[in-house]
Structure 1
Amino acid sequence: GQSDNIASIPFEHMYFMSIDDFDLLTSGIASGGINLTEILDHAVKC
């Protein structure tokens, strides 16, 4: 479920996202349209 996806995100990666961005991200993950690993990899490199 969506809560499982949220729990799997390491807190050290959360600083780059606003709450609104996080809501959009989790919505995208829940719908299957977003690959969380790719997003985190991209965000960490930026």
Structure 2
Amino acid sequence: MSLLDRLQTLCAEFPVPYEMLVMDHPALPTVTFLFRPIPGHDLVPVTSDS
């Protein structure tokens, strides 16, 4: 099972209204995983100001 498969499985197991975007762009050094809120949900992303 690849890392991508494991991440998608992990995302599916958590009831969080986020979708995973895989950014595989030539300008990026590695494959970047972005998590963004799915429109229509009321939950607000929590960010840590560390």
Normalising by structure 1, we get a TM-score of: 0.29
- Determine which structure has greater relative contact order: mean sequence separation of CA pairs < 8 Å that are 6+ residues apart, divided by chain length: 1
| Structure with the bigger percentage of helix | 1
| Structure with the bigger percentage of strand | 2
Normalising by structure 2, we get a TM-score of: 0.27
Q: Which has the larger radius of gyration?
A: 2
